[in-house]
Structures are given as structure tokens and as C-alpha cells.
Amino acid sequence: MPVLEQPLAETRVMLHPVRWQTFEILLGDLGAHRGTRLAYCEEMLEIMTPLGEHEHNNRFIDDLIRAIADEKNLNIKKMGSLTLKRDDLQKGVEPDSCYYLQNEPQVRGKQNINLNIDPPPDLVLEIDITSGSLNKLPIYGALGVPEVWRYDGEDLTVWVRQASEKYDRATHSLAFPDVEIAAIPQFVRQSLIDGETATLREFRRWIMSV
């Protein structure tokens, strides 16, 4: 009996060794208006192209994060897949989505972020469904990102940065400490049944009750 393969949620190309200068040239040549996302760490370059499942999960969880901030009356600055890099560290990454919350007042009026002078995002969202991706936690740790959410198509896990620049898995979010983050995947699945608008309305009611 033939084995049916699950469709990919993203495609990834890994290249090694690659110089930091090559990574920067690629960023410039490819420009900002593209579907691919790049990551670089220790001469390893990942080029990721998101496909349908990846982008649906990213966009809908992004909607849920916005809804939490709205219902909790928190100012939020949404920076999407902003390129986060430090030349002195030779590390760079483009998250699926990233957000300023605690540090939002410091970057409120800025259209461009420079991590040499600006704080990193307070929260990063990574969709990682297809196996074989570059481990980006060491990059985020070096860049100083306090919190990373990782969604694998089933579970959403919270990773909190420690003083050692490494991450520990946490049960509660730094950004939204009173929200049960583990409950979010059920709303992602529900959106495929009831539709995104109806599910988002129900999610907002749930957030107001917690």
C-alpha cells in the first residue's frame, strides 16, 4: 500500500560554509519584497520559503497576538519578518513575526530598527513545521530577544531567554503572563473549521474572560 507523504509547510535550503559578507550581499540583492526568509549563524545560511500551511499559521497566530494586546490594552508595534542582525556578532535572522511590547515606547516612532542602537523585539514568533530547520534560538539569544514562541503545527511552546543567552521552555509568557498560551493551537485548528473571522471573535471573548 503506498505511503502518502504530507505536503511540506515550507522549503529550506541550507548552505555551508558561507561568509557573513555573502549573507549581507544576499539581503541587499534580494531586497525587502520577497517571500524567502534568511538566517545566518556560524557560517550556516538557511533560505526558507514559506508555503500555504506555514503562512496560514503565521498570519492567524499574528492575528491572535494582536487581539491579546488589544483586549489587554497593551501598545504593540508589529514588525513582521523584520531582518534582525548584528554585524559584530555575525548573526542574523528573519522571524515569521516579531513584536515590541515592553520596549514599544523606545521604538514607537521608528520605521527602521538598528539592533546596534535599538532594543530587540520583545517577542518573536517562529513557525517550524517541516523538519530540518536551522536552530535559531542561539541567534535570538545572542541578539537579546527575551521570548520566542515556536509553533510546530500542533503545539505552541514558549521559550524564555536566560542570563546565559540560552532559552528555557516556560509555561507562561513574559509578554502575556495571564494568558494560557498552550490553548492557542486549538483556535488555529478551529479557524480551519469555523473560519478565521468567527474564530477570532470567539478568541476575543475567551481573552476577555481570563
| Neighbour order of strands in the sheet with 91-93 | 10-15, 44-50, 37-41, 91-93, 84-86
Domain ranges of the chain: 52-209
pLDDT of 183-203, one tens digit each? 999 999 999 999 999 999 999
Total-model pTM? 0.94
pLDDT value of residue 8: 76
pLDDT value of residue 7: 60
pLDDT of 32-49, one tens digit each? 888 899 999 999 999 999
- Could you tell me the fold of the domain covering 52-209? tt1808, chain A (3.90.1570)
User: Diameter of the chain by CA atoms?
Assistant: 59
pLDDT value of residue 2: 42
